[in-house]
Structure 1
Amino acid sequence: MSVIEKEKVCELSELPPYQGRTVVHDGEQVALFNVPGIGIYAVQHWDPIGKAFVISRGIVGDVNGHLCVASPLYKQHFKLDSGECIESPEVRLKTWKVSVENSVISLD
């Protein structure tokens, strides 16, 4: 039985509230978002509709009770918890489980 290790990607102090940051995890670009009082979210940085690495530059907000990030290209909204696109539910971003221990953010 193998143990899956968490990969430390950054310090909490490096992730300002509501502003995305990009990290590389397991060879993939990941967009991280810190939503105060709610949590830290990790979704793929690649926008599958706009075909560019831009998601970390998106605006975090709420659409019909769903916490999401709007792509800066064509403004589609992706749910931060599931990666699902609100406008096109068949499209979704990959997501990662995030943990924070001693102010260190890790991804599984």
Structure 2
Amino acid sequence: MNIDRIPAAWVPVCALSDILPNTGVCALVNGVQVAVFHLADDGGRVFAIDNFDPGSQASVLSRGLIGNLGERIVVASPIYKHHFDLRTGECLEIPENSVNAFAARVEDGHVWVAA
């Protein structure tokens, strides 16, 4: 769950314009489903976490609602509404259900995720 590690490789996911602002998409990155989110803030930031929600045992996090709880940017799982921090993958309600977070960036209008 440590996103401070140096990525082994960056994988292109899609054009930033393919992700509507304040929504997410699911991408297959090296065989793993990753939920990639595009924030409609002034920087057009992107975040990436596992798509699999341990609470519901379903791959649905990319379909969750983006928001914030205090200073934390989160996605609410569409099934049980648990909140996952987009920076760290931490599940705020049940920390043991936390997911992996991946480094993500936008370069030349394309979204890249660290594999």
Q: Share of identical aligned residues, percent?
A: 35
Matched, 1:58 2:58: no
TM-score calculated relative to the size of structure 2: 0.86
1:34 aligns to 2:38 (yes or no): yes
Partners in 2 of 1:99 and 1:23 — Cα distance? 14
Partners of 2:57 and 2:29 in 1: CA distance = 20
Q: Distance in 1 between matches of 2:87 and 2:40?
A: 15
Amino acid across the alignment from 1:44: D
The structural deviation recorded for 1:12 is 0.6
Cα deviation for residue 36 of structure 1 reads 2.0
TM-score (norm 1): 0.92
Displacement after TM superposition at 1:100 (Å): 1.2
Query: Unaligned regions of 5+ residues in structure 2, if any?
Result: 1-6
Correspondence 1:1-108 to 2 at 5 A: 4-37=8-41, 39-108=45-114
Equivalent position SS for 2:75: strand
Larger radius of gyration: 1
Relative contact order, higher structure (CA 8 A, sep 6+): 2
Q: Which runs of 4+ in 1 moved over 3 A?
A: none
The superposition leaves residues 33-64 of structure 1 with CA deviations (integer Å, 9 ceiling, x where unpaired) of 11122510001110011000110110001113
Consecutive unaligned residues in structure 1, runs of 5 or more: none
Aligned length: 106
> Once superposed, what is the RMSD of the aligned Cα atoms?
1.4
